[in-house]
Structure 1
Amino acid sequence: IDATDARLADSFDVRRFEAVANQLVANGRIPGLAMAIVKDGRILSARGYGVTDARNPQPVDAHTVFRLASLSKSFAGTVTGMLVNDGVLRWDSHLTDYVPEFRLSLPNAAQQVTVADVLSHRVGLTHNAFDRDLEGNADYHTLTMKLANAPMKCAPGECYAYQNVAFSLIGDVVFATTGQFFSETVARRIFKPLGMHDASYGLEGIEASARWARPHVRGGGGWVPLTPKPTYYRVAPAAGVNASISDMAQYLIAHGGHRTDVLPEPLLATLHTSVVETPGELRGGAWRRERLNTAGYGLGWRVYDYAGHRVVFHGGAVQGYRALMALMPDRDLGIVVLWNS
């Protein structure tokens, strides 16, 4: 073991993480969980804990599929970056060149929005525009039309406000560029070459999985399994991916710079660089308040100064599922945690 590995071993013990995961399940804090830890391009741990379904308990394993919710945004940024790398798209390409019907309420604002603005939540809208309508079962196309009358927070490119509907316009750009549906392009360019064999998009995708974790809510003194809601699957680029922890370990390895045949280093550097500050996050949950020094958003990824370390991160939450993914480039370390409550 070289000195760096020895220092890491002193401060980082995979067994401690696995013990915490086991305890969360044993204490009934969550029904089931899957976790992957990757160091120096090698998988240190990728396994399941607890059960897929509190009513019909099957053990969670490395191939149990979970909803990724907003972790899906990193896949949208990644596949767009691959198209930029191919020379068929630019980060400063205008959205209206690919989605000519796109409109915003400020005069000429729609024509200013770039591909990078969409992926970094700088369209200029107020935060989470039309998420409530989405939750009320409105369809995606109808909501993109409603953006024409939505209130604006700033001119495009000038401020950050998190989006799901507007973010998903990147799917229309990918379709216009490739002639393939967004989900097909991600499968062809990311899932297949990285060996993400359990990964899919949409409600049909998760329900067709050989083994998948049901979402749960608290009720009647325990965990109650639900049927997954189709709602956020309607915005596939923002929240449509399903994957197992085996899949996500491969994705971590690639984003850690160890699959340059698929994701070259210069592309990763671009995706993982903050382009807009997100100071509101510094007032978020306890770990953010205690340890975040700066917070920003890149192209489908959050970028933090976390206790003096650069951390590339994204979280995700839809009814009955939670997910988080973090990379610490200076330690060549990555972790993904997926759970079903």
Structure 2
Amino acid sequence: MKARTLRHAWRAGLIAGLLPLALGSSAQTAPTWNGRPIQMAAAVPAASAAPAVLPPVRLDVADYEAIATAMTNEGKLPGMAMAIVQGGRVVSARGYGVTDVSNPLPIDAHTTFRLASLSKAFAATVTGLLVNDGVLRWDSHLTDYVPAFQLSEPGAAEQLTVADILSHRTGLKRNTFDRDIERDADYHVLTTQLATAPMQCAPGSCYAYQNVAFSLIGDIVFAATGQFYSEVVTRRIFKPLGMNDASYGLEGITASARWARPHVRSGRGWTSLIPKPTYYRLAPAAGVNASISDMAQWLIAQAGHRPDVLPAPLLATLHAPLVDTPGETQVASWRRSRLTAASYALGWRDYSYSGHDVIFHGGAVQGYRAVIAMLPERDLGVVILWNSDSALPSALLPTILDDALGIQGGEWLDDPSYGLPASTMYARRRADTPEGSDASSSKASPR
């Protein structure tokens, strides 16, 4: 499949050293579970020499900026920020709209947003740096660092590895205890209650998205380094990359010089809120705050242009698929139309987008949404952050990916309910667009 052969196209070299360990010891031998053989996650294929990056395409950046401006006009969206990077440089990084409809200040490149689940890639990356240091291994077991941890099935806790946690292969059912977190339950109490939570498979053998269990990686980092998780990320990632607006937690965002308040729909439009602290308590899963300027630097580093901070073999390991996630191909219109395969890696999703590899993640908490994607063969990265529950900005992502790949027919912003001015809608017909091309639309929500 083209998506697999083009994986990591922007990086030279081989997937070596770290990659075999990413499978974890529990993924090497198929155990039995309740007396039945377990189907294990597929192994990661070793890569040969990475193919060259294709020549860059000229993107209609001014068009995308005009669309973003239109989205934030007339109350359709309180605010957003978008960055596009290509070839290791920032093509665009701007803010649009306002931080708060009740006290409107313009969003700029240094306005801080809550990243929600885009935080997971930071957790995987800082763990990988510790693996590089020899402090951890991908197949290190959680119970080596948190000896009291238990799962409901005998022996399961002892099987759980670092790589399993970061790829959502804990064996627990999907989103275990998320509802309790939303009801303000204590994270540490819930981690002890995982000892009674139902399991659907042996650790390392199936996928189910987690927030509470994913955040156990923070306990491992603390035990291995003696430093708080957020301090390690700040020292190893934020500061070296110049992510000067980035922070962790509710205290971090409210201390920012300018930050975007979350918004929900009300009868008369948008209402701003105080951010909920609940998911902030899961720092590895959902704790990061950052500006679009920060995220542009994060994209450049994840694309391999900052080997002094994130070496190429580590990035290859982080982005390589570990477990299939076929449900992702059915989540939204653009995914149903474009995705032919989906997997989870380490803190990242891996998509086959019309035969092209895309590294992706989405994030959502009350009043905030975010999407981030990298297209390796074009050395292109896009991140969009916004301070509302609207689905509208997420349609910009496949719009940009389609342009970069020369794919026609996906007018993702064509939905009339978006109410965008005709002059700025991406649905404009181009001279080379065949008549009768697919005009399917999407109100895709990030995840």
Please, what TM-score do these two structures have when normalized by structure 1? 0.97
Distance, in Å, in 2 between the alignment partners of 1:67 and 1:85 is 29
Letter of the structure 2 residue corresponding to residue 336 of structure 1? V
Which residue of the partner structure matches residue 231 of structure 2?
A: 184
Distance, in Å, in 2 between the alignment partners of 1:220 and 1:281 is 32
Partner of 2:55, secondary structure, is: helix
**The one of 316, 319, 331 aligned to 2:363:** 316
Which residue of the partner structure matches residue 255 of structure 1?
A: 302
Which residue of the partner structure matches residue 92 of structure 1?
A: 139
Matched, 1:28 2:75: yes
Distance, in Å, in 2 between the alignment partners of 1:280 and 1:27 is 36
**The one of 91, 96, 111 aligned to 1:49:** 96
Which residue of the partner structure matches residue 331 of structure 1?
A: 378
Which residue of the partner structure matches residue 105 of structure 2?
A: 58
Alpha-carbon distance, 1:45 to partner:
0.3
**The one of 227, 239, 249 aligned to 1:202:** 249
Matched, 1:136 2:136: no
Distance, in Å, in 2 between the alignment partners of 1:115 and 1:323 is 26
Please, what TM-score do these two structures have when normalized by structure 2? 0.74
Which residue of the partner structure matches residue 282 of structure 1?
A: 329
Partner of 2:202, secondary structure, is: coil
Distance, in Å, in 2 between the alignment partners of 1:305 and 1:81 is 24
Distance, in Å, in 2 between the alignment partners of 1:307 and 1:67 is 30
Partner of 2:72, secondary structure, is: helix
**The one of 158, 170, 181 aligned to 2:205:** 158
Which residue of the partner structure matches residue 315 of structure 2?
A: 268
Is the helix fraction higher in 1 or 2?
A: 1
Letter of the structure 1 residue corresponding to residue 115 of structure 2? L
Partner of 1:253, secondary structure, is: helix
Where structure 1 has 5 or more consecutive residues not aligned to the other structure, the ranges are: none
Instruction: Check the 8 A contact 2:112/2:289 in 1, yes or no.
Output: yes
Distance, in Å, in 2 between the alignment partners of 1:236 and 1:4 is 38
Partner of 1:238, secondary structure, is: helix
Partner of 2:374, secondary structure, is: strand
Paired-residue identity, %: 72
Letter of the structure 2 residue corresponding to residue 311 of structure 1? V
Distance, in Å, in 2 between the alignment partners of 1:220 and 1:237 is 35
Letter of the structure 2 residue corresponding to residue 208 of structure 1? A
Which residue of the partner structure matches residue 151 of structure 2?
A: 104
Alpha-carbon distance, 1:4 to partner:
2.5
Matched, 1:122 2:169: yes
Question: For each residue in 1:20-57, what CA deviation from the matched residue of structure 2 results, as whole angstroms up to 9, or x when unmatched?
Answer: 21111114331000000000000000010000000100
Which residue of the partner structure matches residue 292 of structure 1?
A: 339
Question: For each residue in 1:278-309, what CA deviation from the matched residue of structure 2 results, as whole angstroms up to 9, or x when unmatched?
Answer: 01111111111000011000000000001121
Question: For each residue in 1:37-92, what CA deviation from the matched residue of structure 2 results, as whole angstroms up to 9, or x when unmatched?
Answer: 00000000001000000010000000000000000000000000000011111000
Question: For each residue in 1:113-140, what CA deviation from the matched residue of structure 2 results, as whole angstroms up to 9, or x when unmatched?
Answer: 0000000000000000000000000010
Question: For each residue in 1:156-175, what CA deviation from the matched residue of structure 2 results, as whole angstroms up to 9, or x when unmatched?
Answer: 00100000000000000100
Where structure 2 has 5 or more consecutive residues not aligned to the other structure, the ranges are: 1-53, 389-447
Letter of the structure 2 residue corresponding to residue 258 of structure 1? H
Question: For each residue in 1:79-110, what CA deviation from the matched residue of structure 2 results, as whole angstroms up to 9, or x when unmatched?
Answer: 00000011111000111001111100011000
Letter of the structure 1 residue corresponding to residue 210 of structure 2? Q
Which residue of the partner structure matches residue 424 of structure 2?
A: none
Instruction: Check the 8 A contact 2:131/2:137 in 1, yes or no.
Output: yes
Distance, in Å, in 1 between the alignment partners of 2:327 and 2:368 is 24
Distance, in Å, in 1 between the alignment partners of 2:258 and 2:75 is 21
Larger radius of gyration: 2
Letter of the structure 2 residue corresponding to residue 173 of structure 1? I
* Aligned residue-pair number: 335
Partner of 1:4, secondary structure, is: coil
Instruction: Check the 8 A contact 2:339/2:353 in 1, yes or no.
Output: yes
Q: Which moved more, 1:128-137 or 1:24-33?
A: 24-33
Is the strand fraction higher in 1 or 2?
A: 1
Which residue of the partner structure matches residue 55 of structure 2?
A: 4
Which residue of the partner structure matches residue 258 of structure 2?
A: 211
Matched, 1:174 2:221: yes
Distance, in Å, in 2 between the alignment partners of 1:27 and 1:88 is 52
**TM alignment of 1:231-246, pairs within 5 A:** 231-246=278-293
Distance, in Å, in 1 between the alignment partners of 2:131 and 2:64 is 37
Distance, in Å, in 1 between the alignment partners of 2:309 and 2:72 is 36
Question: For each residue in 1:170-226, what CA deviation from the matched residue of structure 2 results, as whole angstroms up to 9, or x when unmatched?
Answer: 000100111100000000000000000000000000000000000000113211000
Instruction: Check the 8 A contact 2:55/2:378 in 1, yes or no.
Output: no
Distance, in Å, in 2 between the alignment partners of 1:339 and 1:136 is 24
Instruction: Check the 8 A contact 2:263/2:272 in 1, yes or no.
Output: yes
Distance, in Å, in 2 between the alignment partners of 1:264 and 1:222 is 46
Letter of the structure 1 residue corresponding to residue 55 of structure 2? T
Distance, in Å, in 2 between the alignment partners of 1:28 and 1:47 is 19
